[in-house]
């Protein structure tokens, strides 16, 4: 998994996105093992075209693979809420909305930014991650929520 290659490609095309999921939780201090990169993107026609272009150098394809490959176009990204991809840099899930938080424009006011090398990566804040994990009902999400709440308590005690 090489999320820095994904972030670089997104930045080169000017894609508007927010890092969500396990990598965002790890950046906040959670000890979560994740096998993919998850982003929420602005689902405008222009941004979907930029996102589609950013996926080309990563050799992205729909995951799991189909017998007949599905082209990843701006139109596909504009009309689907979530697309699971396999890329040269690892698995990538692109989402138009996050349960419990909403779409990209609803996320942006609360995001935090981290530096990864020379790149500035917008990601969910700890409070946003907690809200998102609170509405999900899978065992891994409950485990992540417990860790995130513990991190939040530690931060408030400082």
CA distance 127 to 150: 12
> So what's the pLDDT on residue 62?
96
* Contact assessment for residue 58 and residue 87, using Cβ atoms and an 8 Å cutoff: yes
Average pLDDT, consecutive stretches of 10 residues, N- to C-terminus, the chain (158 residues): 94 97 89 90 98 97 92 96 96 95 95 93 94 82 84 86
Geometric angle at alpha carbon 35, from 10 and 115, rounded to 5°: 40
For the chain, domains (ranges, CATH) are 3-151 (3.30.460.40)
| Own/partner pairs, 29-36, CB within 8 angstroms, 24+ separation | 29/151, 30/144, 30/147, 30/148, 30/151, 31/147, 32/144, 32/147, 35/1, 35/90, 35/91, 36/1, 36/90, 36/91, 36/92, 36/93
> So what's the pLDDT on residue 47?
98
Residue 10 neighbours by CB distance under 10 Å: 25
pTM: 0.91
> So what's the pLDDT on residue 106?
95
Lookup: tokens for 47: 């941004």
Geometric angle at alpha carbon 108, from 104 and 114, rounded to 5°: 115
Tens-place pLDDT, residues 23-60: 999 998 888 888 899 999 999 999 999 999 999 999 99
> So what's the pLDDT on residue 154?
86
Of 49, 23, 2, the residue nearest 114 (C-alpha) = 23
> So what's the pLDDT on residue 116?
87
Strand partners, 41: 17
* Contact assessment for residue 6 and residue 96, using Cβ atoms and an 8 Å cutoff: no
């Amino acid at each position: 998994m090489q999320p820095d290659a994904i972030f670089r490609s997104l930045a080169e095309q000017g894609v508007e996105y927010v890092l969500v999921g396990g990598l965002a939780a790890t950046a906040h201090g959670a000890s979560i093992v994740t096998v993919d990169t998850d982003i929420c993107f602005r689902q405008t026609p222009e941004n979907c075209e930029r996102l589609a272009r950013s996926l080309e150098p990563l050799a992205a394809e729909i995951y799991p693979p189909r017998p007949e490959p599905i082209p990843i176009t701006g139109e596909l990204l504009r009309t689907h809420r979530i697309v699971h991809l396999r890329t040269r840099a690892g698995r990538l899930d692109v989402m138009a909305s996050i349960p419990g938080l909403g779409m990209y424009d609803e996320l942006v006011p609360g995001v935090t930014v981290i530096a990864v090398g020379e790149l500035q990566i917008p990601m969910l804040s700890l409070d946003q991650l907690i809200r998102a994990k609170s509405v999900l009902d899978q065992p891994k999400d409950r485990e992540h929520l417990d860790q995130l709440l513990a991190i939040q308590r530690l931060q408030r005690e400082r």
